[in-house]
């Protein structure tokens, strides 16, 4: 469970460069909710996920993850509860370590112990089984350095590593945007499979409206730091790309109407 109460975030407050990035966001995700998040460039999508992850604190409002108030928890402390996958496949894994070393570290997330004990045979078997489900042949490359993998292979490994220890919430920020269409499709089905089989509470930012409609059980549209649409159940299922585009234009249209009022 994750709950945001009246989250407000400014950047460069009080200067000429002031940005009102999140404008009073209140949101509650139930356990197992898979939420797709859309909105134009600069709408506040990444800022919302960064606030949840603790990359910075909100100016006001509260964030609850699980039972606790994590609003003032630093990022490293929240990392025990949150997994993130970014657009850049180079983030999220360590290139100079082997696949099995990367996976062993991921398996220790939230624990105080380090990698001192090394990778055991039983770990290896588990890693092989997990890698096999990616369908990329990585189960035979446990000792390869991760830096040798392609972007798509690396992103698939990152997805697996992000979910080896079940997080309270999985945050995906355009995690397929840097991949070719075929690989992107593969990572997307993998995402769906992992999220469903582990019942993960997930937020997935995408610019692809078809994906936003067809994946997950809930859809949020952000605009100028506010939640413009929040649809779930049959409202989401019956949604079309045309409906979403109309909402986008409506939002822009309101801006135009406001401008013309001001100018008039
Ligand atoms: N660290 C930061 N410092 C200053 N301004 C920031 C920072 N992060 C985001 N912003 C600003 O906050 C606003 C929201 O940005 P954000 O990155 O959340 O948008 P987004 O919806 O993720 O857009 P995109 O689709 O382009 O990724 C933008 O105006 C952006 O320039
Ligand atoms: Mg973004």
Q: Which residues, including other chains, have CB under 8 Å from residue 245's CB and lie 6 or more apart?
A: 209
Q: Which residues of the chain are under the pLDDT cut of 70?
A: 113-117, 253-264
Which residue is it, tokens 């630093």?
A: 74
Q: How far is ligand 2, taken at its centre, from the CA of residue 39, in Å? A: 9
For residue 197, the 8-state DSSP code is H
Please report which residue ranges of 114-217 form alpha helices under DSSP H: 121-132, 151-162, 181-198, 209-214
Query: CA 136 from chain center: how many Å?
Result: 23
> What is this structure's pTM?
0.92
Question: What pLDDT was estimated at residue 245?
Answer: 86
Report domain extents, the chain: 2-95+166-217+229-247
Decide: 40 and 223 in contact? Cβ < 8 Å: yes
Supply the CATH classification number for the domain 2-95+166-217+229-247. Answer: 3.40.50.300
Q: What was the pLDDT predicted at 259?
A: 46
Q: Which atom of ligand 1 is nearest to the CA of 174?
A: 27
Output the CA 42–ligand 1 centroid distance in Å. Answer: 5
pLDDT score at 264: 35
Looking at residue 115, its pLDDT comes to: 64
Instruction: Look at residue 254 in the predicted model and tell me its pLDDT.
Output: 58
Q: Which residues of 66-89 are buried (b: 16+ CB within 10 A; e: fewer)?
A: eeeebbebeeeebbebbbbbbbbb
What is the distance in A from the centroid of ligand 2 to the CA of 41? 7
- Per-residue pLDDT of 189-223, as tens digits, reads 999 999 999 999 999 999 999 999 999 999 999 99
């Amino acid at each position: 469970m994750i709950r945001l109460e009246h989250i407000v975030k400014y950047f460069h407050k009080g200067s000429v460069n002031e940005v009102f990035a999140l404008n009073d966001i209140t949101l509650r995700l139930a356990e197992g909710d898979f939420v797709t998040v859309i909105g134009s460039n600069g709408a506040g999508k990444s800022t919302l996920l960064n606030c949840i992850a603790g990359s910075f604190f909100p100016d006001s409002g509260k964030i609850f993850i699980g039972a606790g108030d994590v609003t003032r928890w630093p990022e490293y402390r929240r990392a025990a509860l949150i997994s993130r996958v970014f657009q850049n496949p180079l983030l999220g894994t360590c290139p100079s370590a082997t696949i099995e070393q990367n996976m062993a570290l991921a398996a220790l997330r939230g624990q105080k112990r380090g990698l001192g004990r090394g990778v055991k045979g039983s770990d290896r078997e588990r890693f092989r089984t997990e890698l096999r489900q990616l369908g990329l042949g990585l189960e035979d490359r446990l000792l390869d350095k991760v830096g040798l993998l392609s972007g798509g292979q690396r992103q698939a490994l990152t997805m697996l590593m992000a979910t080896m220890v079940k997080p309270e919430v999985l945050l995906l920020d355009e995690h397929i945007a840097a991949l070719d269409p075929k690989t992107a499709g593969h990572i997307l089905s993998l995402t769906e499979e992992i999220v469903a089989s582990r019942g993960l509470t997930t937020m997935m930012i995408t610019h692809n409206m078809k994906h936003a409609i067809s994946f997950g059980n809930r859809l949020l549209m952000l605009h100028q730091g506010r939640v413009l649409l929040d649809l779930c159940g049959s409202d989401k299922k019956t949604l079309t790309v045309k409906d979403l585009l109309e909402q986008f234009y409506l939002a822009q249209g309101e801006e135009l109407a406001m401008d013309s009022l001001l100018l008039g």
